[in-house]
Amino acid sequence: MRQRISRFYFSSFLLSNRCKRRNSYRPFFVSLCAVFCFLLSIFVVYAATKLEFYYFNPDCVQSNLSQLSSGFNSLFKKFGLDAGFQAFAHKRDFDQRLKERPPDLILVPSWYFEQYGKALGLTPLLTSLENGKPSYTKYLLVRKDFGLSVKELKGKTVAMTTMGANAEELLNTNYFKDQGVDFSAMNIIITPKDADALYALLLGQVDAALVGQATLDTIDSVGLRTLEGTKRLMASSPVPTPLLCVLPGSVDKVEVAQMKNILLKKSEKNPSAELMDKLYINDWQKVF
Task: Mark whether 29 and 111 lie in a shared domain.
Answer: no
pTM of the model: 0.80
Do 281 and 160 sit in the same domain of this protein? no
pLDDT of residue 215: 92
CATH number, domain at 191? 3.40.190.10
Residues 164 and 227 in one domain: yes
Residues 177 and 218 in one domain: yes
| pLDDT at site 48 | 45
State the pLDDT at residue 25. Answer: 47
Q: How far apart are the C-alpha atoms of 196 and 211, rounded to whole Å? A: 9
Closest CA to 108 of 186, 55, 180: 55
Domain hosting 217: range is 138-237
Return phi, psi of residue 93, to 5°: -70, -40
pLDDT of residue 33: 40
Q: Which stretches of the chain score pLDDT less than 70?
A: 1-49, 223-224, 267-269, 288
254/184 same-domain check: no
Do both 130 and 246 map to the same domain?
A: yes
Residue 200: its pLDDT value, please?
A: 95
- For the chain, the maximum distance between any two Cα atoms, rounded to a whole number of angstroms, is 114
Cα 229 from Cα 217, distance rounded (Å)? 16
Burial status of residue 242 (CB atoms within 10 A of its CB: 0-12, 13-18, 19 or more)? buried
pLDDT of residue 64: 85
CA pair distance 282, 165, nearest whole angstrom: 29
